[in-house]
Amino acid sequence: MAADEPEAGGTGTGGTDAGGQRRGVFWEMLAGRVAAPRASLLLGWELIEVLPDEGTIEVAFQADEQFTNPAGAIQGGFLAAMLDDTMGPALAASLPDGLLAPTLDLHVQYLRPARPGRLTGRGRVVSRGRRVCFLSGELAAADGTLVAVATATVRLRTLE
């Protein structure tokens, strides 16, 4: 098995220590022991709820006026980044320490214009294999109206 291939497949509960505490980059970031990614800070990423054993997450973003296009809607690239930053953590919360999951493919469908303000993302792990995982996500406006949905394929790798 190559050095960048994880040993275990299945859904699993991710990395926990002997005391049952969650381990891994996601949990280290939440605890403040690892700096949050700058892109997440720019997007105003906020954790609402994570259920790592179920492979789901709910997060919020603060879409700033700076993210708008000439029509006053949030530019699609920012929405794609928010969806990527929703789906990735849904999986990352369940990964053992030392694994990460870079995105191989991201497919976004824009349903309606998103306006500046709070957006809520919901992500889930659809399927988790030994090396490749499939994720899905949705992004909703403050009133609950869906503005975009996405699917992603990621590859499990060891942290280098």
pLDDT at residue number 10: 39
Tens of pLDDT, residues 54-91: 999 999 999 999 999 999 999 999 999 999 999 999 99
Q: In this structure, what DSSP letter does residue 75 have? A: P
Q: Which amino acid type is present at position 93? A: A
Burial string for 128-151 (b: 16+ CB within 10 Å, else e) reads beeeebbbbbbbbbeeeeebbbbb
Task: Give the C-alpha separation, 24 to 12, whole Å.
Answer: 14
Q: How many CA atoms lie within 13 A of 146 on its CB side?
A: 11
Q: What is the pLDDT of residue 109?
A: 98
Contact 98, 159 (CB under 8 A): yes
What is the pLDDT, as a whole number, of residue 125? 98
- Other beta carbons within 10 angstroms of residue 58's beta carbon come to 17
Mean pLDDT of 91-117: 95
Is the distance from CB of 112 to CB of 145 less than 8 angstroms? yes
More confident residue, 49 or 1: 49
Task: Give 159 or 142, the one with higher predicted confidence.
Answer: 142
Predicted confidence band of residue 16 (pLDDT cuts 50, 70, 90): low
Q: Which residue would you say has higher pLDDT here, 154 or 20?
A: 154
Locate 48 and state its tokens.
């609402």
Pairing relationship of beta strands 146-155 and 132-140 according to DSSP bridges:
antiparallel
